[in-house]
Amino acid sequence: MLSRNSSADAVLAALEASADPALIAGMDRVGIRTEHAIGLSNPALRQIARQIGVDHARAVALWQSPVREAKLLALLTFDPKRLKPEEMFALAGDFTSWEMVDMAADLFVETGLEPALIARFAADDREFVRRTAFAMIAGAAVHCKSEPDETFIAFLPLIEAHAGDDRNFVKKAVNWALRNIGMRNRACHQPALALAEKLAESDDRTRRWVGRDAVKYLSDPKRLARLKG
């Protein structure tokens, strides 16, 4: 039985014992790399994370494992108060899938929304490192209620700068960030929609896709009716 006192080795053994290899085929279908997967769903990992609790040293040890599930569990149990920018940047260098990025982005936002760190992620040409920047923006736009709107409006030039990156997991995250900023509230909606409309008229195919999809999303009457402020 796992507990808050369980060691990294005990946790790894429990993961192996609970794994269901039949789940791996489903991961393949949604674009998750599975060469190091053993077969545990994210809800199952979240349940284990609740059992073992936050433990930064143990999370560091779990991250050293090549096993997908161990790395995801590490992201669920790192102590955000102890994570430093250099450590987060080093973690990002090991990302191998969109699910790892998106889970890490939530963790990184918990440490504080640092525009300089987000800009550093975006400037890195590695696909999953760059995705991290925009996944952080997308998540923070929804969950960081007390953050000033100006923080998110200030991210729009970064979105514009990378809207032409045609790699699947980057362009989707750029689009996601733009849509979420636009749906944050009415103050953010207008500048986000203006950027989306500008991108929609671009000669570049990827920028045009990002813009057109965001315009469609941000112009939907049902969504507009839910906008606050």
Q: What residue numbers bound the domain in which 10 lies?
A: 1-79
Closest among 145, 214, 203, 207 to 177, alpha carbons compared: 214
Q: Quote the pLDDT of residue 31.
A: 85
Q: Quote the pLDDT of residue 182.
A: 98
Q: How confident is the model at residue 220 (pLDDT cuts 50, 70, 90)?
A: very high
* DSSP letters spanning 192-209: HHHHHHHHHT-SSHHHHH
Q: How confident is the model at residue 172 (pLDDT cuts 50, 70, 90)?
A: very high
Q: Indicate the number of domains in the chain.
A: 2
Of the three residues 79, 113, 137, the one that is the final residue of a domain is 79
Which tens digits make up the pLDDT trace of 58-88? 999 999 999 999 999 999 999 999 999 999 9
The Cα 226–Cα 125 span in angstroms is 36
Q: What is the pTM of this model?
A: 0.95
- pLDDT at position 229 over 80: no
- pLDDT at position 14 over 90: yes
The Cα 75–Cα 105 span in angstroms is 9
The Cα 81–Cα 42 span in angstroms is 23
Based on the domain organization, do 202 and 99 belong to the same domain? yes
Based on the domain organization, do 193 and 112 belong to the same domain? yes
Based on the domain organization, do 64 and 93 belong to the same domain? no
Among the residue ranges 29-38, 63-72, 103-112, the one predicted with the least confidence is 29-38
- DSSP reduced 3-state for 182: helix
Q: Quote the pLDDT of residue 28.
A: 84
CATH number for the domain including 127? 1.25.10.10
Of the three residues 79, 94, 129, the one that is the final residue of a domain is 79
Contacts of 155 (CB under 8 A, 6+ apart): 115, 118, 137, 177, 181
Q: Percentage of the chain surpassing pLDDT 70?
A: 100
Contact 180, 137 (CB under 8 A): yes
Q: Quote the pLDDT of residue 228.
A: 85
